[in-house]
Structure 1
Amino acid sequence: MSSATTTAEESVDARPRRSLGAIAVRVLLPALTFVVLIGLWWVATIVFGWPSYIVPTPLEVWQEMSDQRSILASNFRTTLWEALLGFGLAIAIAIPSAVAIAYSRTLELTVYPALVALNAIPKIAIAPLLVIWMGFGAGPKIVMVVLICFFPIVISTATGLKATPAEIAELSRSLSTSTLQDFLRFRFPWSLPYVFVGLKVAIALAVIGAVVGEFVGATKGLGYVIVASGQNANTTLAFAAIVLLSLMSIVLYYAVSLLERVLVPWAEET
Protein backbone atom coordinates (compact mmCIF):
# COMPACT_ATOMS: atom_id res chain seq x y z
CA MET A 1 0.00 0.00 0.00
CA SER A 2 2.83 2.35 0.93
CA SER A 3 4.64 1.53 -2.32
CA ALA A 4 1.56 2.27 -4.38
CA THR A 5 1.04 5.58 -2.58
CA THR A 6 4.66 6.57 -3.16
CA THR A 7 4.38 5.73 -6.85
CA ALA A 8 1.23 7.81 -7.19
CA GLU A 9 2.87 10.78 -5.46
CA GLU A 10 5.92 10.51 -7.70
CA SER A 11 3.64 10.45 -10.74
CA VAL A 12 1.86 13.60 -9.59
CA ASP A 13 5.16 15.34 -8.89
CA ALA A 14 6.47 14.33 -12.31
CA ARG A 15 3.63 16.01 -14.19
CA PRO A 16 4.69 19.60 -13.39
CA ARG A 17 8.29 18.70 -14.27
CA ARG A 18 7.21 17.26 -17.62
CA SER A 19 5.04 20.31 -18.23
CA LEU A 20 7.90 22.70 -17.45
CA GLY A 21 10.20 20.64 -19.65
CA ALA A 22 7.76 20.80 -22.54
CA ILE A 23 7.41 24.57 -22.14
CA ALA A 24 11.19 24.96 -22.02
CA VAL A 25 11.55 22.98 -25.24
CA ARG A 26 8.83 25.03 -26.94
CA VAL A 27 10.58 28.27 -25.98
CA LEU A 28 14.25 27.34 -26.23
CA LEU A 29 14.19 25.57 -29.60
CA PRO A 30 12.56 28.46 -31.52
CA ALA A 31 14.82 30.94 -29.70
CA LEU A 32 17.87 28.88 -30.65
CA THR A 33 16.69 28.77 -34.26
CA PHE A 34 16.46 32.57 -34.40
CA VAL A 35 19.90 32.94 -32.83
CA VAL A 36 21.34 30.61 -35.48
CA LEU A 37 19.62 32.49 -38.30
CA ILE A 38 20.90 35.83 -37.03
CA GLY A 39 24.38 34.34 -36.73
CA LEU A 40 24.23 33.04 -40.32
CA TRP A 41 23.07 36.47 -41.48
CA TRP A 42 26.01 38.10 -39.73
CA VAL A 43 28.53 35.58 -41.05
CA ALA A 44 27.20 35.98 -44.59
CA THR A 45 27.78 39.75 -44.51
CA ILE A 46 31.39 39.09 -43.49
CA VAL A 47 32.13 36.19 -45.85
CA PHE A 48 30.63 37.83 -48.94
CA GLY A 49 31.80 41.29 -47.98
CA TRP A 50 28.43 42.93 -48.52
CA PRO A 51 28.50 46.67 -47.82
CA SER A 52 25.93 48.10 -45.42
CA TYR A 53 23.92 49.81 -48.16
CA ILE A 54 23.24 46.36 -49.70
CA VAL A 55 22.89 44.08 -46.66
CA PRO A 56 23.44 45.63 -43.22
CA THR A 57 24.63 43.57 -40.28
CA PRO A 58 22.25 42.64 -37.45
CA LEU A 59 24.07 45.13 -35.20
CA GLU A 60 23.50 47.96 -37.70
CA VAL A 61 19.82 47.04 -37.98
CA TRP A 62 19.50 47.03 -34.19
CA GLN A 63 21.16 50.45 -34.02
CA GLU A 64 18.80 51.77 -36.69
CA MET A 65 15.81 50.41 -34.79
CA SER A 66 17.05 52.23 -31.68
CA ASP A 67 17.68 55.49 -33.53
CA GLN A 68 14.33 55.43 -35.38
CA ARG A 69 12.26 53.83 -32.62
CA SER A 70 9.61 56.55 -32.52
CA ILE A 71 9.00 56.43 -36.29
CA LEU A 72 9.07 52.64 -36.39
CA ALA A 73 6.79 52.34 -33.35
CA SER A 74 4.18 54.64 -34.91
CA ASN A 75 4.19 52.76 -38.21
CA PHE A 76 4.25 49.42 -36.38
CA ARG A 77 1.00 50.35 -34.61
CA THR A 78 -0.58 51.35 -37.92
CA THR A 79 0.22 48.04 -39.61
CA LEU A 80 -0.77 46.05 -36.53
CA TRP A 81 -4.14 47.83 -36.32
CA GLU A 82 -4.83 47.24 -40.03
CA ALA A 83 -3.92 43.56 -39.74
CA LEU A 84 -5.99 42.93 -36.60
CA LEU A 85 -9.05 44.83 -37.81
CA GLY A 86 -9.00 43.07 -41.19
CA PHE A 87 -8.47 39.72 -39.46
CA GLY A 88 -11.43 40.34 -37.16
CA LEU A 89 -13.67 41.34 -40.06
CA ALA A 90 -12.57 38.27 -42.00
CA ILE A 91 -13.59 36.05 -39.08
CA ALA A 92 -16.94 37.81 -38.77
CA ILE A 93 -17.67 37.21 -42.47
CA ALA A 94 -15.97 33.87 -43.06
CA ILE A 95 -17.36 31.78 -40.20
CA PRO A 96 -21.06 32.51 -40.92
CA SER A 97 -20.34 31.89 -44.60
CA ALA A 98 -18.74 28.54 -43.76
CA VAL A 99 -21.72 27.58 -41.60
CA ALA A 100 -24.10 28.41 -44.45
CA ILE A 101 -22.02 26.36 -46.90
CA ALA A 102 -21.77 23.40 -44.51
CA TYR A 103 -25.51 23.31 -43.83
CA SER A 104 -26.71 23.99 -47.39
CA ARG A 105 -25.91 21.62 -50.22
CA THR A 106 -27.19 24.23 -52.69
CA LEU A 107 -24.78 26.88 -51.41
CA GLU A 108 -21.94 24.38 -51.41
CA LEU A 109 -22.55 23.64 -55.09
CA THR A 110 -23.06 27.26 -56.13
CA VAL A 111 -21.09 29.57 -53.85
CA TYR A 112 -18.12 27.35 -53.03
CA PRO A 113 -16.80 27.11 -56.63
CA ALA A 114 -17.14 30.89 -56.94
CA LEU A 115 -15.08 31.37 -53.77
CA VAL A 116 -12.37 29.09 -55.16
CA ALA A 117 -12.31 31.08 -58.39
CA LEU A 118 -12.11 34.40 -56.55
CA ASN A 119 -9.31 33.11 -54.35
CA ALA A 120 -7.31 32.26 -57.46
CA ILE A 121 -7.16 35.96 -58.40
CA PRO A 122 -3.78 37.41 -57.32
CA LYS A 123 -4.58 39.85 -54.54
CA ILE A 124 -1.71 42.14 -55.53
CA ALA A 125 -3.62 42.78 -58.78
CA ILE A 126 -6.60 44.08 -56.81
CA ALA A 127 -4.60 46.39 -54.54
CA PRO A 128 -4.25 49.29 -57.05
CA LEU A 129 -7.99 49.17 -57.74
CA LEU A 130 -8.73 49.37 -54.01
CA VAL A 131 -6.58 52.50 -53.78
CA ILE A 132 -8.48 54.05 -56.71
CA TRP A 133 -11.83 53.19 -55.16
CA MET A 134 -11.06 53.96 -51.51
CA GLY A 135 -8.10 56.33 -51.48
CA PHE A 136 -4.86 56.19 -49.50
CA GLY A 137 -6.35 55.69 -46.04
CA ALA A 138 -6.63 52.52 -44.01
CA GLY A 139 -9.64 51.22 -45.97
CA PRO A 140 -7.77 49.52 -48.87
CA LYS A 141 -5.34 47.82 -46.48
CA ILE A 142 -8.13 46.46 -44.28
CA VAL A 143 -10.07 45.20 -47.30
CA MET A 144 -6.90 43.54 -48.62
CA VAL A 145 -6.44 41.77 -45.27
CA VAL A 146 -10.05 40.58 -45.36
CA LEU A 147 -9.66 39.25 -48.91
CA ILE A 148 -6.49 37.33 -48.04
CA CYS A 149 -7.74 35.94 -44.70
CA PHE A 150 -11.27 35.05 -45.79
CA PHE A 151 -10.60 31.91 -47.83
CA PRO A 152 -8.49 29.83 -45.38
CA ILE A 153 -10.97 30.50 -42.57
CA VAL A 154 -13.94 29.50 -44.73
CA ILE A 155 -12.25 26.32 -45.96
CA SER A 156 -11.11 25.13 -42.54
CA THR A 157 -14.40 25.96 -40.79
CA ALA A 158 -16.57 24.32 -43.44
CA THR A 159 -14.32 21.26 -43.41
CA GLY A 160 -14.57 21.01 -39.63
CA LEU A 161 -18.35 21.32 -39.63
CA LYS A 162 -18.67 18.60 -42.26
CA ALA A 163 -16.16 16.33 -40.50
CA THR A 164 -18.35 15.65 -37.44
CA PRO A 165 -18.06 11.92 -36.66
CA ALA A 166 -21.09 9.79 -37.44
CA GLU A 167 -21.46 8.66 -33.81
CA ILE A 168 -21.67 12.28 -32.60
CA ALA A 169 -24.26 13.09 -35.25
CA GLU A 170 -26.21 10.00 -34.20
CA LEU A 171 -26.02 11.08 -30.55
CA SER A 172 -27.38 14.49 -31.52
CA ARG A 173 -30.30 12.90 -33.37
CA SER A 174 -31.04 10.55 -30.47
CA LEU A 175 -31.35 13.56 -28.16
CA SER A 176 -33.81 15.18 -30.59
CA THR A 177 -31.82 18.40 -30.65
CA SER A 178 -32.81 21.28 -32.89
CA THR A 179 -30.52 22.47 -35.66
CA LEU A 180 -29.27 25.31 -33.48
CA GLN A 181 -28.68 23.02 -30.50
CA ASP A 182 -26.91 20.51 -32.73
CA PHE A 183 -24.65 23.29 -34.00
CA LEU A 184 -23.84 24.77 -30.59
CA ARG A 185 -23.46 21.53 -28.63
CA PHE A 186 -21.87 19.21 -31.14
CA ARG A 187 -20.82 20.42 -34.57
CA PHE A 188 -19.18 23.74 -33.77
CA PRO A 189 -17.19 22.50 -30.73
CA TRP A 190 -15.99 19.54 -32.80
CA SER A 191 -14.95 21.86 -35.64
CA LEU A 192 -12.92 24.24 -33.43
CA PRO A 193 -9.55 22.53 -34.08
CA TYR A 194 -10.20 22.94 -37.81
CA VAL A 195 -11.26 26.56 -37.29
CA PHE A 196 -8.03 27.36 -35.49
CA VAL A 197 -6.00 25.81 -38.29
CA GLY A 198 -7.55 28.39 -40.60
CA LEU A 199 -7.09 31.18 -38.06
CA LYS A 200 -3.39 30.43 -37.63
CA VAL A 201 -2.88 30.47 -41.39
CA ALA A 202 -4.94 33.63 -41.74
CA ILE A 203 -3.22 35.62 -38.99
CA ALA A 204 0.13 35.30 -40.75
CA LEU A 205 -1.50 36.26 -44.05
CA ALA A 206 -3.12 39.27 -42.36
CA VAL A 207 0.24 40.96 -41.89
CA ILE A 208 1.13 40.21 -45.52
CA GLY A 209 -2.16 41.68 -46.68
CA ALA A 210 -1.62 44.90 -44.73
CA VAL A 211 1.89 45.30 -46.12
CA VAL A 212 0.75 44.60 -49.69
CA GLY A 213 -1.83 47.35 -49.33
CA GLU A 214 0.79 49.71 -47.95
CA PHE A 215 3.16 48.93 -50.80
CA VAL A 216 0.63 50.07 -53.39
CA GLY A 217 -0.47 53.28 -51.75
CA ALA A 218 -0.01 54.52 -48.20
CA THR A 219 1.34 57.39 -46.15
CA LYS A 220 2.17 55.33 -43.05
CA GLY A 221 2.74 51.75 -41.93
CA LEU A 222 5.78 49.48 -42.05
CA GLY A 223 5.11 48.68 -45.71
CA TYR A 224 5.28 52.40 -46.45
CA VAL A 225 8.55 52.61 -44.48
CA ILE A 226 10.06 49.85 -46.64
CA VAL A 227 8.99 51.57 -49.88
CA ALA A 228 10.25 54.97 -48.71
CA SER A 229 13.52 53.41 -47.53
CA GLY A 230 14.04 51.86 -50.96
CA GLN A 231 13.47 55.21 -52.64
CA ASN A 232 15.96 56.86 -50.26
CA ALA A 233 18.46 53.97 -50.50
CA ASN A 234 18.24 53.44 -46.73
CA THR A 235 18.55 49.66 -46.70
CA THR A 236 19.15 49.50 -42.97
CA LEU A 237 15.80 51.11 -42.16
CA ALA A 238 14.07 48.76 -44.61
CA PHE A 239 15.65 45.78 -42.85
CA ALA A 240 14.54 47.16 -39.48
CA ALA A 241 10.94 47.35 -40.75
CA ILE A 242 11.19 43.80 -42.12
CA VAL A 243 12.44 42.52 -38.75
CA LEU A 244 9.52 44.21 -36.98
CA LEU A 245 7.07 42.68 -39.46
CA SER A 246 8.54 39.25 -38.76
CA LEU A 247 8.22 39.77 -35.02
CA MET A 248 4.64 40.95 -35.46
CA SER A 249 3.71 37.83 -37.44
CA ILE A 250 5.37 35.53 -34.92
CA VAL A 251 3.71 37.15 -31.90
CA LEU A 252 0.27 37.14 -33.55
CA TYR A 253 0.63 33.51 -34.60
CA TYR A 254 1.58 32.36 -31.12
CA ALA A 255 -1.20 34.49 -29.61
CA VAL A 256 -3.73 32.58 -31.73
CA SER A 257 -2.01 29.29 -30.79
CA LEU A 258 -2.26 30.20 -27.10
CA LEU A 259 -5.94 31.03 -27.54
CA GLU A 260 -6.41 27.62 -29.13
CA ARG A 261 -4.73 25.89 -26.19
CA VAL A 262 -7.07 27.74 -23.80
CA LEU A 263 -10.32 27.25 -25.73
CA VAL A 264 -9.61 23.84 -27.30
CA PRO A 265 -7.35 22.01 -24.83
CA TRP A 266 -8.32 18.63 -26.24
CA ALA A 267 -7.07 19.45 -29.76
CA GLU A 268 -3.38 18.86 -29.03
CA GLU A 269 -4.07 15.62 -27.17
CA THR A 270 -6.17 14.39 -30.09
Structure 2
Amino acid sequence: MSAAPSRAVQRGILGALLLMGLWEGVARGFALPAYMLPAMSDVLAGVWSQRALLTEAAAYTLSEALLGYVLGSLIGIGLAVGLSLLPQVRGGVVAAVTAVNSVPVVAYSPLILLWFGIGVASKVVMVAFTVSFTVFLSTLAGLDRVDRRSVDLMRSFGAGRLALLWRLRLPTALPLILAGLRVSTVRSIIVAIVTEMLGAYGGLGWVIYQAVLQIDFVQVWSAIVVASAASLAFFGLVSLAERRLLFWKAA
Protein backbone atom coordinates (compact mmCIF):
# COMPACT_ATOMS: atom_id res chain seq x y z
CA MET A 1 0.00 0.00 0.00
CA SER A 2 1.38 3.41 -0.97
CA ALA A 3 1.90 6.28 1.43
CA ALA A 4 -1.10 8.29 0.19
CA PRO A 5 -3.72 5.54 0.78
CA SER A 6 -2.10 4.82 4.17
CA ARG A 7 -2.50 8.44 5.21
CA ALA A 8 -6.09 8.42 3.96
CA VAL A 9 -6.85 5.34 6.07
CA GLN A 10 -5.23 6.94 9.11
CA ARG A 11 -7.23 10.13 8.64
CA GLY A 12 -10.40 8.08 8.25
CA ILE A 13 -9.76 6.16 11.48
CA LEU A 14 -8.91 9.38 13.33
CA GLY A 15 -12.08 11.02 12.01
CA ALA A 16 -14.20 8.05 13.11
CA LEU A 17 -12.66 8.13 16.61
CA LEU A 18 -13.29 11.87 16.90
CA LEU A 19 -16.90 11.42 15.76
CA MET A 20 -17.48 8.65 18.31
CA GLY A 21 -15.91 10.76 21.04
CA LEU A 22 -18.11 13.73 20.14
CA TRP A 23 -21.16 11.47 20.02
CA GLU A 24 -20.39 10.07 23.47
CA GLY A 25 -19.79 13.53 24.91
CA VAL A 26 -23.03 14.98 23.53
CA ALA A 27 -25.15 12.02 24.63
CA ARG A 28 -23.66 11.92 28.13
CA GLY A 29 -23.27 15.66 28.57
CA PHE A 30 -26.88 16.48 27.70
CA ALA A 31 -28.26 13.27 29.25
CA LEU A 32 -30.13 12.50 26.05
CA PRO A 33 -32.69 9.68 26.22
CA ALA A 34 -32.00 6.53 24.24
CA TYR A 35 -34.80 7.18 21.78
CA MET A 36 -33.13 10.47 20.82
CA LEU A 37 -29.46 9.49 20.84
CA PRO A 38 -27.97 6.70 22.94
CA ALA A 39 -24.36 7.00 24.07
CA MET A 40 -21.80 5.50 21.72
CA SER A 41 -20.53 3.25 24.52
CA ASP A 42 -24.03 1.80 24.88
CA VAL A 43 -24.27 1.30 21.12
CA LEU A 44 -20.92 -0.49 20.97
CA ALA A 45 -21.94 -2.63 23.93
CA GLY A 46 -25.13 -3.47 22.04
CA VAL A 47 -23.12 -4.44 18.95
CA TRP A 48 -20.99 -6.75 21.07
CA SER A 49 -23.88 -8.34 22.96
CA GLN A 50 -25.83 -8.91 19.73
CA ARG A 51 -22.77 -9.72 17.60
CA ALA A 52 -24.07 -13.09 16.44
CA LEU A 53 -27.41 -11.65 15.29
CA LEU A 54 -25.84 -8.59 13.69
CA THR A 55 -23.13 -10.61 11.93
CA GLU A 56 -25.71 -12.93 10.42
CA ALA A 57 -27.91 -9.97 9.44
CA ALA A 58 -24.97 -8.11 7.88
CA ALA A 59 -23.99 -11.18 5.85
CA TYR A 60 -27.60 -11.48 4.64
CA THR A 61 -27.76 -7.82 3.60
CA LEU A 62 -24.31 -7.85 1.99
CA SER A 63 -25.17 -10.90 -0.10
CA GLU A 64 -28.25 -9.12 -1.44
CA ALA A 65 -26.32 -5.91 -2.05
CA LEU A 66 -23.43 -7.67 -3.80
CA LEU A 67 -25.67 -9.72 -6.09
CA GLY A 68 -27.71 -6.66 -7.02
CA TYR A 69 -24.55 -4.59 -7.41
CA VAL A 70 -22.97 -7.02 -9.86
CA LEU A 71 -26.20 -7.46 -11.83
CA GLY A 72 -26.91 -3.72 -11.94
CA SER A 73 -23.33 -2.92 -12.98
CA LEU A 74 -23.49 -5.39 -15.86
CA ILE A 75 -26.85 -4.00 -16.99
CA GLY A 76 -25.69 -0.38 -16.77
CA ILE A 77 -22.41 -0.95 -18.62
CA GLY A 78 -24.06 -3.20 -21.21
CA LEU A 79 -26.83 -0.71 -21.95
CA ALA A 80 -24.39 2.19 -22.30
CA VAL A 81 -22.12 0.18 -24.61
CA GLY A 82 -25.12 -0.90 -26.67
CA LEU A 83 -26.25 2.69 -27.13
CA SER A 84 -22.75 3.72 -28.17
CA LEU A 85 -22.97 1.16 -30.98
CA LEU A 86 -26.56 2.16 -31.88
CA PRO A 87 -26.62 5.96 -31.55
CA GLN A 88 -29.87 6.25 -33.53
CA VAL A 89 -31.91 4.89 -30.59
CA ARG A 90 -29.95 6.66 -27.85
CA GLY A 91 -32.27 9.62 -27.37
CA GLY A 92 -35.38 7.54 -26.80
CA VAL A 93 -33.71 5.04 -24.48
CA VAL A 94 -32.01 7.70 -22.35
CA ALA A 95 -35.29 9.60 -22.01
CA ALA A 96 -37.17 6.45 -20.98
CA VAL A 97 -34.50 5.41 -18.45
CA THR A 98 -34.38 8.90 -16.97
CA ALA A 99 -38.17 9.03 -16.67
CA VAL A 100 -38.27 5.70 -14.83
CA ASN A 101 -35.52 6.76 -12.45
CA SER A 102 -37.00 10.20 -11.79
CA VAL A 103 -39.33 8.52 -9.28
CA PRO A 104 -37.75 7.76 -5.85
CA VAL A 105 -36.65 4.14 -5.82
CA VAL A 106 -38.55 3.41 -2.61
CA ALA A 107 -41.81 4.05 -4.51
CA TYR A 108 -41.18 0.89 -6.53
CA SER A 109 -40.51 -1.25 -3.45
CA PRO A 110 -44.13 -2.36 -2.83
CA LEU A 111 -44.47 -3.47 -6.46
CA ILE A 112 -41.15 -5.31 -6.45
CA LEU A 113 -42.06 -7.05 -3.19
CA LEU A 114 -45.42 -8.02 -4.68
CA TRP A 115 -43.85 -9.39 -7.86
CA PHE A 116 -40.77 -11.10 -6.40
CA GLY A 117 -41.81 -11.82 -2.81
CA ILE A 118 -40.11 -10.79 0.42
CA GLY A 119 -37.11 -13.07 -0.06
CA VAL A 120 -33.68 -12.26 -1.46
CA ALA A 121 -34.88 -11.85 -5.07
CA SER A 122 -36.80 -8.63 -4.45
CA LYS A 123 -33.80 -7.01 -2.72
CA VAL A 124 -31.47 -8.02 -5.53
CA VAL A 125 -33.85 -6.55 -8.11
CA MET A 126 -34.17 -3.28 -6.20
CA VAL A 127 -30.41 -2.92 -5.79
CA ALA A 128 -29.79 -3.80 -9.45
CA PHE A 129 -32.43 -1.26 -10.50
CA THR A 130 -30.70 1.49 -8.52
CA VAL A 131 -27.11 0.62 -9.39
CA SER A 132 -27.78 0.15 -13.11
CA PHE A 133 -28.93 3.75 -13.55
CA THR A 134 -25.87 5.25 -11.82
CA VAL A 135 -23.43 3.03 -13.70
CA PHE A 136 -25.30 3.58 -16.97
CA LEU A 137 -24.97 7.37 -16.75
CA SER A 138 -21.31 7.30 -15.71
CA THR A 139 -20.42 4.81 -18.46
CA LEU A 140 -22.31 6.79 -21.10
CA ALA A 141 -20.56 10.00 -20.03
CA GLY A 142 -17.20 8.23 -20.17
CA LEU A 143 -17.83 6.85 -23.65
CA ASP A 144 -18.69 10.37 -24.82
CA ARG A 145 -15.34 11.76 -23.65
CA VAL A 146 -13.44 10.30 -26.57
CA ASP A 147 -11.46 12.81 -28.62
CA ARG A 148 -12.94 13.02 -32.13
CA ARG A 149 -9.45 13.34 -33.59
CA SER A 150 -8.50 9.99 -32.08
CA VAL A 151 -11.63 8.42 -33.53
CA ASP A 152 -10.89 9.84 -36.98
CA LEU A 153 -7.28 8.65 -36.77
CA MET A 154 -8.28 5.07 -35.91
CA ARG A 155 -10.92 5.05 -38.63
CA SER A 156 -8.30 6.16 -41.13
CA PHE A 157 -6.45 2.93 -40.28
CA GLY A 158 -9.58 0.89 -40.92
CA ALA A 159 -10.87 0.45 -37.36
CA GLY A 160 -14.55 -0.46 -37.13
CA ARG A 161 -17.07 0.21 -34.36
CA LEU A 162 -16.03 -2.75 -32.22
CA ALA A 163 -12.33 -1.93 -32.55
CA LEU A 164 -13.03 1.70 -31.59
CA LEU A 165 -15.06 0.52 -28.62
CA TRP A 166 -12.49 -1.93 -27.30
CA ARG A 167 -9.30 -0.01 -28.02
CA LEU A 168 -10.39 3.58 -27.51
CA ARG A 169 -13.84 4.21 -26.01
CA LEU A 170 -13.74 1.75 -23.09
CA PRO A 171 -10.20 2.67 -21.93
CA THR A 172 -11.15 6.36 -22.08
CA ALA A 173 -14.39 5.71 -20.18
CA LEU A 174 -12.75 3.54 -17.50
CA PRO A 175 -12.20 6.34 -14.91
CA LEU A 176 -15.85 7.40 -15.04
CA ILE A 177 -17.07 3.80 -15.07
CA LEU A 178 -15.09 3.06 -11.92
CA ALA A 179 -16.31 6.28 -10.31
CA GLY A 180 -19.90 5.17 -10.94
CA LEU A 181 -19.14 1.74 -9.50
CA ARG A 182 -17.60 3.35 -6.41
CA VAL A 183 -20.58 5.63 -5.81
CA SER A 184 -22.97 2.70 -6.25
CA THR A 185 -21.45 0.71 -3.38
CA VAL A 186 -23.11 2.77 -0.66
CA ARG A 187 -26.37 3.08 -2.59
CA SER A 188 -26.59 -0.69 -2.99
CA ILE A 189 -26.50 -1.29 0.78
CA ILE A 190 -28.91 1.58 1.50
CA VAL A 191 -31.48 0.23 -0.96
CA ALA A 192 -31.11 -3.32 0.35
CA ILE A 193 -31.71 -2.16 3.94
CA VAL A 194 -34.70 0.05 3.04
CA THR A 195 -36.33 -2.78 1.09
CA GLU A 196 -35.71 -5.19 3.98
CA MET A 197 -37.55 -2.81 6.29
CA LEU A 198 -40.63 -3.12 4.07
CA GLY A 199 -40.57 -6.92 4.09
CA ALA A 200 -37.86 -9.55 4.56
CA TYR A 201 -36.86 -12.77 6.28
CA GLY A 202 -33.60 -11.33 7.60
CA GLY A 203 -30.95 -8.67 7.16
CA LEU A 204 -30.01 -5.41 8.88
CA GLY A 205 -33.19 -3.67 7.68
CA TRP A 206 -35.26 -6.44 9.23
CA VAL A 207 -33.31 -6.11 12.51
CA ILE A 208 -33.89 -2.35 12.54
CA TYR A 209 -37.61 -2.79 11.90
CA GLN A 210 -37.98 -5.41 14.65
CA ALA A 211 -35.99 -3.26 17.08
CA VAL A 212 -38.27 -0.27 16.41
CA LEU A 213 -41.34 -2.43 17.11
CA GLN A 214 -39.74 -3.52 20.40
CA ILE A 215 -38.76 0.10 21.23
CA ASP A 216 -35.12 -1.00 21.50
CA PHE A 217 -33.36 2.08 20.16
CA VAL A 218 -29.91 0.92 21.20
CA GLN A 219 -30.28 -2.07 18.90
CA VAL A 220 -31.53 0.22 16.14
CA TRP A 221 -28.34 2.26 16.39
CA SER A 222 -26.24 -0.90 16.73
CA ALA A 223 -27.60 -2.16 13.40
CA ILE A 224 -27.01 1.28 11.85
CA VAL A 225 -23.38 1.28 13.02
CA VAL A 226 -22.84 -2.21 11.56
CA ALA A 227 -24.47 -1.12 8.30
CA SER A 228 -22.19 1.94 8.15
CA ALA A 229 -19.12 -0.22 8.75
CA ALA A 230 -20.20 -2.62 5.99
CA SER A 231 -20.79 0.29 3.59
CA LEU A 232 -17.39 1.79 4.34
CA ALA A 233 -15.67 -1.57 3.84
CA PHE A 234 -17.44 -2.11 0.52
CA PHE A 235 -16.61 1.44 -0.59
CA GLY A 236 -12.98 0.97 0.46
CA LEU A 237 -12.58 -2.28 -1.49
CA VAL A 238 -13.94 -0.77 -4.69
CA SER A 239 -11.79 2.35 -4.18
CA LEU A 240 -8.73 0.14 -3.77
CA ALA A 241 -9.60 -1.74 -6.98
CA GLU A 242 -10.03 1.62 -8.73
CA ARG A 243 -6.56 2.74 -7.67
CA ARG A 244 -5.08 -0.54 -8.86
CA LEU A 245 -6.75 -0.33 -12.27
CA LEU A 246 -6.02 3.38 -12.72
CA PHE A 247 -2.45 3.16 -11.51
CA TRP A 248 -1.31 5.87 -13.94
CA LYS A 249 -3.92 8.28 -12.53
CA ALA A 250 -2.94 7.49 -8.93
CA ALA A 251 0.69 8.13 -9.79
- The interval holding the TM-score normalised by the smaller chain is over 0.9
Q: Matches of 2:234 and 2:69 in 1, distance apart?
A: 11
Find the aligned partners of 2:84 and 2:245 in 1 and give their Cα distance: 22
Where does structure 1 lack aligned partners over 5 or more consecutive residues? 1-15
Residue 62 (structure 2) pairs with residue 83 (structure 1): no
Matched, 1:127 2:106: no
The residue type equivalent to 2:155 in the other structure is R
Cα distance change on mapping 1:88 and 1:24 into 2, 3 Å: closer
Asked if 1:204 is matched to 2:186, the reply is yes
- Whole-angstrom distance in 2 between the partners of 1:101 and 1:181: 16
Query: Matches of 1:105 and 1:184 in 2, distance apart?
Result: 17
Give 1:53 deviation, angstroms. 4.6
Which amino acid counterpart does residue 71 of structure 1 have in structure 2? L
CA RMSD of aligned residues (A): 1.5
Name the count of aligned residue pairs. 251
The CA deviation string for residues 70-107 of structure 1, in whole angstroms up to 9 with x for no partner, is 11111110000000000000011111100122232222
Letter in 2 for 1:91: S
Identify the residue that residue 214 of structure 1 maps to in structure 2: 196
1:103 to 60, 85, 96: 85
Shifted more, 192-201 versus 23-32: the winner is: 23-32
CA contact (8 A) 1:100 1:107 kept: no
Tell me which of 164, 168, 175 is aligned to 1:193: 175
Decide which of 120, 126, 145 is 1:144's aligned counterpart: 126
1:229 to 201, 207, 211: 211
TM-score (norm 1): 0.89
Counterpart in 2 of 1:115?
Answer: 97
Q: For the residues of structure 1 that align with 2:245 and 2:153, how far apart are their CA atoms?
A: 23
Greater CA radius of gyration, 1 or 2? 1
Of the three residues 89, 92, 101, the one matched with 2:74 is 92
CA deviation map 1:88-133 (0-9, x unaligned): 0001111110012223222211110011101111111111111122
Partner residue, 1:165? 147
User: Match of 1:181?
Assistant: 163
Q: TM-score, normalised by structure 2?
A: 0.95
Q: Is the aligned partner of 1:62 residue 2:44? A: yes
Percent identity between the aligned chains?
A: 33
> d(CA) in 2 for partners of 1:72 and 1:102?
44
Structure 1 residues 229 and 132: CA distance shift in structure 2, 3 A: same
Provide, for residues 116-170 of structure 1, a one-character-per-residue CA deviation record: whole Å limited to 9, x for no partner.
1011111111111111222111111111101111111000101111111223223
Task: Tell me the residue number matched to 1:249.
Answer: 231
Residues 94 and 197 of structure 1: CA distance in aligned 2, closer, same or farther (over 3 Å): same
Query: Of the candidates 27, 44, 53, which is equivalent to residue 71 of structure 1?
Result: 53
Would you say the 8 A contact 2:142–2:174 is kept in 1? yes
What residue in structure 2 maps to residue 11 of structure 1? none
- Unpaired segments of 5 or more residues in structure 2? none
Letter in 2 for 1:82: E
Task: State whether residues 72 and 128 of structure 2, in contact with CA within 8 Å, keep that contact through their aligned partners in structure 1.
Answer: yes
Letter in 2 for 1:92: L
Work out the CA distance in 2 between the residues paired with 1:188 and 1:100. Answer: 12
**Does the 8 A contact of 1:61 with 1:239 survive in 2?**
yes
Question: Are 1:101 and 1:112, in contact at CA under 8 Å, matched by a contact in 2?
Answer: no
Q: Is the 8 A contact 1:87 1:202 kept in 2?
A: yes
1:193, CA displacement in angstroms? 0.2
Kept after mapping to 2: 8 A contact 1:193/1:264: yes
What code does the residue aligned with 2:12 have? P
